[in-house]
Amino acid sequence: MLPSVTEEKAALRRTVRRWLAALPSSERRESDRALFAHFLSLPQVEGAKTIFAFWGIPEREPDTGELVRQLAERGKVVGLPRMLPGRGMEVRGYASDRPLVPAAFGLLEPDEQAPLLERAAIDLILVPGLCYDREGYRLGFGGGYYDRWLAGCSGWKVGLCRAALLQDRLPRGPYDIPVDLVVTEEECLSHLSSAKSGG
């Protein structure tokens, strides 16, 4: 019997997490610097007023705390996810003078007093993932939070992926939503519809 998409994803998550666990911290930091420099150079980032980012967990994601601070210093309105009951998610504003609070899964998130950002006001979403493929699909963490939130979202969707983890094609299900751009340390892969690209 062939493995299901769910089983394929679970097996790949284990493989990617083993690779990340073995990645030396010096290489992780060097990769992060290259990823962030490439991301910040995107015209889509330059043109965005409001960016929905995430505060990465270094053991499994780029350490995007520094990137969030840089975006705020550039005058961007930066939002971070706040998890809700029932696997829901909202976006709350980040401020450097407001501490983040611990949440489920080892995440840090804004508290409930941080301003709520409306989905329609968000110009660009930095979507977390363990890895991506060349068609813009991602291997998430299995909770489904982002796939539900991204449905019907019109902002640019961007993923950061270490080049060593970029896949040719990931297993995918009917509810998986690809990003528009995948940024690695070396390249930016575009997956734009003709309407969005202006073509």
Each residue's pLDDT tens digit, 51-75: 999 999 878 899 999 999 999 999 9
Q: Is 132 annotated as a binding residue?
A: no
Q: Is 145 annotated as a binding residue?
A: yes
pLDDT computed for residue 65 by the predictor: 93
pLDDT computed for residue 154 by the predictor: 87
Helices marked H in the chain: 5-22, 25-40, 43-47, 65-73, 145-150, 194-197
Q: Is 9 annotated as a binding residue?
A: yes
Torsion, CA 194, CA 129, CA 137, CA 2, rounded to 10: -170
Q: Is 142 annotated as a binding residue?
A: yes
Q: Is 48 annotated as a binding residue?
A: no
Q: Is 138 annotated as a binding residue?
A: yes
> Which of these CATH numbers, 3.40.309.10, 3.20.20.140, 1.10.10.10, 3.40.50.10420, describes 5-197?
3.40.50.10420
pLDDT computed for residue 193 by the predictor: 44
Q: Break the chain into its structural domains and give their ranges.
A: 5-197
Q: Is 104 annotated as a binding residue?
A: no
pLDDT digits (tens, 9 = 90+) for 99-155: 899 887 778 899 989 999 999 999 999 999 999 999 999 998 877 788 888 887 889
Q: Is 136 annotated as a binding residue?
A: no
Average pLDDT in the chain: 90
Q: Is 67 annotated as a binding residue?
A: no
